[in-house]
Amino acid sequence: MASGFFALLDDIAVIMDDVAVTTKVATQKAGGILGDDLAVTAEKASGFRASREIPVLWAICKGSFINKLIILPLAFLLSAFVPWSIVPILVIGGIYLAFEGAEKVYHYLFDGGHTKTATAKAEMSEEELKIEEKKKVKSAIVVDFILSVEIVIVALSSVVEEEMTVQILSVSLAALIATIGVYGLVALIVRMDDLGLKLVEASNGKGILKSIGMLLVNALPWVIKSLAFIGTVAMLLVAGGIFVHNIHQVHDLVHSFPSVLGELAVGIVVGAIALLVVKVIEKMLGKSHS
């Protein structure tokens, strides 16, 4: 009886050791997408009133955890029983990401970009601001869902040779680490001005603490603007990467390009086509209703 119990403990220890190793591998393999996820999430979580930044970020974070709870079991089931369905799902997600990126570029070039958005927000009522906030949170959760699918699939592909128990534990742990890491860093970014002000207060108006604090306060607007650009590029890159890595005809078209340029070019083309299709449909629906 006792020997059986200790044998069970030994088996659990072996499994957990395997899980630790495979989780590290899975997290490292998904590292590139995590960088894009960080840029996109930070861009989506910015642009709100200071008092709403953390509540909004928490709402998106909760949505991200729910996304993982949906994606993880589905990914394991699809990988085990219908592995052919994974690529089409990724491609559909890639089209959406490319559309989101292209729409942001279109908005910046033809709709007045951030200046017009800021002016419009200043004229909004409290109720309209709440509606706008809900829309942005919903959009961020949808984008997180697609990025989470990509992260889970990439992590799963790195441990596909392992036993199912190890796959489930390691990929689930990698997804949890990714979510906590990304949203923790985003929280630090969006609140860096508050940290700067606290450092200025603690410095009594002099010394290196004041310099660091003022640097953080003054840098935040530039960081937010940079994140808007980086987040858009990241969406186009992830979208292009999905097509390049999963459709060999697309890969053959851009294989002579540097990988980043090839993926960005594919993301831009797919996004432009998706945006054009959506605009045409919107125009047709508008005419049909008039």
**Percent of the chain whose pLDDT exceeds 70:** 76
| Residue whose tokens read 């508008």 | 286
Residues 227, 104 contacting (CB under 8 angstroms): no
- Summarised one tens digit per residue, pLDDT across range 23-64 is 555 555 445 566 666 777 777 776 666 677 788 888 888 998
Residue 8 has pLDDT above 70, yes or no: no
Residue 230 has pLDDT above 90, yes or no: no
Residue 113 has pLDDT above 60, yes or no: no
Per-residue model confidence (pLDDT) at position 269: 94
- Quick one: which H or E segment has residue 145? helix 126-157
- C-alpha separations of 204 from 4, 106, 199, 211, 220 in Å: 65, 47, 9, 11, 22
Per-residue model confidence (pLDDT) at position 146: 82
Per-residue model confidence (pLDDT) at position 37: 67
Higher pLDDT, 2 or 254: 254
Task: Tell me the C-alpha distance between 92 and 242, whole Å.
Answer: 10
If you average pLDDT over every residue of the chain, what do you get?
77
Task: Give the closest residue to 99 by CA, choosing from 225, 283, 232, 286.
Answer: 232
Residue 85 has pLDDT above 90, yes or no: no
Confidence band for 134, pLDDT divided at 50, 70 and 90 = confident
Tell me the Ramachandran region of residue 125: left when phi exceeds 0, alpha when psi lies from -120 to 50, beta otherwise.
beta
Phi and psi dihedrals of 162, rounded to 5? Answer: -80, 170
Q: pTM of this prediction?
A: 0.71
Q: How many CB atoms lie within 10 A of CB 38?
A: 22
Per-residue model confidence (pLDDT) at position 2: 44
